[in-house]
Amino acid sequence: MTANLPDPKKDGRYSARRLVLLGTTILSLGAAAAIVAPNVNPSAALAQNVTQQAQTVARPTGFADIVEKVKPAVISVRVKKDATPQLSMDDGDNPFAPGSPFERFFRRFGSPDNMPNIPNMPRSPRGRFASGQGSGFFISADGYAVTNNHVVDKAEEVEVQTDDGKIYQAKVIGTDPRTDLALIKVDGKNFPFAKLAENAPRIGDWVLAVGNPFGLGGTVTAGIVSARGRDIGAGPYDDFIQIDAPVNKGNSGGPTFDIDGHVVGVNTAIFSPSGGNVGIAFAIPASTVNTVVTQLREKGSVTRGWIGVQIQPVTQDIADSLGLKKAEGALVAEPQAKSPAAKAGIEAGDVIIAVNGEEIKNARDLARKIGSMSPGTSAKVTLLRKGTEKTVTLTLGELPAAREARASATPEDRDGTSALPRFGMQLAPAGSVAGASSEGVVVTSVEPDGLAAELGFKAGDVIVEVGGVAVKSPADVRKSFTEARDAGKRTVLVRVKSGEGMRFVAAPLARG
């Protein structure tokens, strides 16, 4: 039998009338229930009915099943460090030193207690040791685990606590400060462990961050991949994954999982002007972790390929100066003497555009590509020299230990200096300036608000070449600028030597 219902098109009051009737029906049922069973609370009956209905509704998918599987592999890492001042990290090697760009904008989790805007860590009663804590995760059943270098750096003792509350003493197998990774080991077997992801996550993928924020242990937060390939100024191998999952101090060294339970990254830093979480965190990609940890496990240290060139990015102005179609590649500012690059014939002014057929987009690309290769490996380097493409083959050396760059003393102005009013700087032949070599032209002073200052020139810099032509006097510099302008160029490439090394500066010719 088909019920005869009013036509809603003919009776516009149908919807409202039906709602009223349903309401009435509910009230009638409630009254009837009260008569038949006077001891039953109508509100309780309705609440039970709503609960039953809610249980039949499809529930949103959560992360509980994934967390249940991956959480046992995550550990809390606790360390004791000598707190005496002389053992603090030297500012010359510390990317987090006070005043550094990294220190100003990023905060590490589990940082030493002398970090600005981070609460002091508890000390032992004698005041000799400072304790710290971070996170980590097992990567094998026999007790190998990954954490951050800065978590265990200079640690006197390291212990880990597993998800089931057991505590183990750990040994540091090896560390790699350049990527902020460390490999530790605890004695035992049959530890639950996590696998590193083979594929990089996509922007927008769900991720889970698990760690030990504020020493609470076993905390899980969720978010998405916000960006990839982030350069945050920590070093030449920056290639961070940015996530928006809330992570805080103590999460450092903990894993970021994808929804398949694979580790896509190791949490290492947050963007935090206030010292708290603002939803911008950075993780070291699994591909980097795999490369570094493999070497640490095999030999306790990491060796990287080296070709021996000082490089800088190709800006649009530099590209215009060199006649390049695109502002891509890595510009060779100077090949180091007797380096693989120098032996292969690579020269200052060359732009490296590919290694072993893989395109090099920028200077950071080149550093990562070469750094991921082993010393002794043969590499084919494709470069552009004065608009002509050329390929050279070289054998990679081993990256030397980091050397501290010291700025040279600023020379005083002397008689005979010559001004470049358009650029706002004074020049003098190198031979006439005390303490300078005989090569090039020395910048003796720079106007704070002038174009030279904008371009990064400083007193003490030495101009070696202008437009590919060696200069020995201020007159040579002016002549080269004039010739470039007369040739219709918008910029001219200036090769500059400073205490930090050799670099190129694209100086615009239209101004002044």
Which residues are catalytically annotated? 150, 180, 252
Count H helices, E strands: the chain?
11, 28
- In angstroms, the CA 322 to CA 350 distance is 10
CA distance 182 to 174: 6
120-129: list long-range contacts, CB under 8 Å, 24+ apart: 123/83, 124/80, 127/83, 128/82, 128/83, 128/84, 129/80, 129/81, 129/82, 129/83, 129/156
Pairing of the two strands 388-395 and 378-385: antiparallel
Q: What is the DSSP letter of 111?
A: -
Residue 258 · residue 197 · CB < 8 Å = yes
Instruction: Name the residue among 107, 114, 110 with its Cα closest to residue 147.
Output: 110
Q: How far apart are CA 267 and CA 252, in angstroms?
A: 5
Name which of 143, 118, 138 is nearest 130 in CA terms. Answer: 118
DSSP state of 123: B
By the 10 Å C-beta count (0-12 exposed, 13-18 middle, 19+ buried), 448 is classed as exposed
In sequence order, the 6+-apart residues with CB closer than 8 A to the CB of 472 are 429, 430, 440, 441
| E-state strands within 94-148 | 106-107, 129-138, 144-147
How is residue 496 written in tokens? Answer: 């500059």
End-to-end CA distance of the chain: 94
Q: How does DSSP assign 182-198, residue by residue?
A: EEEEES-S-----PBPS
Most distant pair of Cα atoms in the chain: their distance: 113
| E strand map for 431-488 | 441-446, 462-466, 469-470
* CA distance linking residue 301 with residue 173, whole number of Å: 9
Q: Write the DSSP string, 359-422.
A: E--SHHHHHHHHHTSPTT-EEEEEEEETTEEEEEEEE-EEPPPP----PPPPPPP-TT-EEETT
Q: Pick from 96, 475, 26: which is nearest to 252 by CA? A: 96
User: Which segments within 451-490 are labelled E, that is strand?
Assistant: 462-466, 469-470
